[in-house]
């Protein structure tokens, strides 16, 4: 019965993440940490039965398996799958940091800094 409840929750999460996804299309699953090692138990059981491929990277998962829903779950989803505009901001900040490092590593600038000190 508990496994049925979790499968139902998995279906709800898969559908909530992307409305066009159906359970029969799910091949890989990311399992969120659960109380009392339930995530490990489910990962072992699901793997042994060959139901889904369990992934450790949520970005590679077709669905997420969780034992709880609500605000904490929604925050975790937002953390794992940021909104596109937020993701673009993160990427652009990373690109800016790389560009800054590249500018700092330019031979002419390095020599000028060393000469000033």
Are 53 and 29 in contact, with CB atoms under 8 Å apart? yes
Whole-prediction pTM value? 0.54
**pLDDT per residue over 16-48, tens digit each?**
555 566 878 899 999 999 999 999 999 999 999
What is the average pLDDT across 41-60?
93
**What's the Cα-to-Cα distance from 92 to each of 45, 62, 89, 97, rounded to whole Å?**
41, 26, 5, 9
Residues β-bridged to residue 65:
31
Average pLDDT, the chain: 76
The answer, yes or no, to whether residue 117 has pLDDT greater than 50, is no
Residue ranges of the domains in the chain?
Answer: 2-81, 84-117
């Amino acid at each position: 019965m508990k496994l049925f409840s979790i499968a139902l929750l998995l279906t709800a999460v898969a559908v909530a993440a992307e409305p066009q996804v159906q359970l029969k299309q799910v091949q890989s699953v990311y399992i969120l940490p659960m109380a009392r090692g339930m995530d490990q138990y489910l990962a072992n059981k699901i793997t042994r039965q060959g139901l889904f491929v369990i992934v450790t990277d949520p970005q590679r998962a077709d669905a997420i398996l969780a034992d709880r829903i609500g605000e904490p779950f929604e925050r975790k989803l937002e953390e794992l799958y940021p909104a596109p505009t937020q993701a673009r901001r993160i990427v652009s900040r990373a690109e800016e940091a790389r560009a800054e490092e590249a500018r700092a590593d330019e031979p002419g600038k390095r020599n000028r800094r060393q000469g000033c000190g």
